[in-house]
Structure 1
Amino acid sequence: MLGVHGLTRQYGEVRAVDGVTFEVPAGKMIGFVGGNGAGKTTTMRMIMGVLAPNAGEVTWGERPVTRADRTRFGYMPEERGLYPKQGVLDQLTYLGRLHGMSQGDANGRAKELLERFGLGHRLKEKVEKLSLGNQQRAQIIAAVLGEPLALIMDEPFSGLDPAAVDQMADLLREHTSRGVPVLFSSHQLELVDRLCDGIVVLHKGKVVAQGTSDELRGNAPLRFVMTLTGDAGWVRGEPGIKVLDLDGATVELEPESEELAQRLLTEAVSRGGVREFSRVRPSLSEIYREVAAA
């Protein structure tokens, strides 16, 4: 398990990261979300030892993380870190050797992954000659090349087409299936919702929410959509019911409790037919906006 405990980073008067605490369990994929400037990249750099925290610590298992541990972590920075003038295969082989692989193992594993992700015919190509999407593929391959103990990835899906997103998601799942903890940040909230076992929401340097998608949604207000056979205007006068939107026979509403929702449904049935009465599940984007505004 990768643990983050009270990480804090100060730049002059600005506290970019303020007591951030969360865990990335073995074999789980955790999504790290937040707006620009929320502190995600700074937190990831502290996890990797690129930046020193002003307070707090990172743990690996039950002990403080060491430099040797970090050597075995796969890291993908948001800014592509590959050398533009160097050939793709040579560069990946070199990076594999930095992770402790032999020349032959690094070269063979790099070829295998490049073939898998459609770059097998461009092994000698300079990185600068690749499209942005293919550069992103190469950067992800660099992160996973050395059979990492953990994966820390900053915006790994940026610039990828839908097919490449699915390929990379499968690659990450292969690592979690072997017990590797994976932390990645993304602005693509619906993708995070689909892929991740847990979510950490950062806002202005602080963790403002964390948990599974269902747990985060469980804290959202009760919200229903009801469609009647006749006009729904009468709902506006019902006590304990907040009408969010009303369009003829359809009304979106927030009751103060489940009991009031059931009473409203009973009342609607007594007044005539009910075509629909369903709970509205907020999207992760809506949840983020609510917790960030709190």
Structure 2
Amino acid sequence: MFPFALQDAATRIQSQFETVLGNLRPLPLTQAMGYATRGGKALRGFLVLEGAALHGVSPDRAIWPATAIEAIHAYSLVHDDLPAMDDDDLRRGLPTVHRKWDEATAILVGDALQSLGFELVADPRCHPDAGVRADLTLSLAQAAGARGMVLGQALDIAAETATTPLTLDQITDLQAGKTGALITWSAMAGARLAGADTAPLRRFGDALGLAFQIWDDVLDVEGDAETVGKAVGKDAGRGKATFVSLLGLEGAKRRAAQLVHEACTALDIYGEKAETLKDAARFVISRRN
């Protein structure tokens, strides 16, 4: 069930991107924005759509924040790949935006996608209640900015030149921002749309986000670039502390499995309706890219 639901979410989000971007001027910038938003798993958008369905929210509303979070995620990847950051040549098995176009275009693509994300959650078609839209917009800004993802990225950059490697607690805090903040927002968005209690989905998202990052560290050791779709082995090459370097490969896998169990347990309150979300959590530590 889950693979079909994930693919369906990716297809619907891609269609929404095509509609939204089709309303913009046909410039190389717009073409590059479309390029940057294609080819991903759309896991974050899937979490929005599934969480909304869990609360009886119309898919026609949920598609707006689902596409918004994928726009924000895509922007972060485009900027993360730049020479000033990770200097990557591949993303999702294809040349990164700054390689296919140039650095200036990549910067503008990231800027435009970030703005687009906020535009989508602020659109009245997302929800008729301006208060709900404001809540989604504020919480997304907090998850994406200097309280969340950008903070995590800044801590990650600082760690590369630190005189001593980060501790496990420090890496956990770093990744709660860099990777976890957007995943947790995605998990909670459906409850926000419905005006429902967000606490169970917050617990689910927090555990899932950390498991996701631990498994990324595992793939950096075990994966190959062709399957993963980007360079691997870079963390070890830089001497960075990771969950694998601190816990060992098998220890990191066990910790990821524990977190997935925590994520699934958080959803027990929803009964059988949450089985697809539980399958998504299990997928996070079985994926090869």
Given the two structures, how large is their TM-score scaled by the length of structure 1?
A: 0.24
TM-score (norm 2): 0.25
Normalized per residue, the structure richer in strand is 1
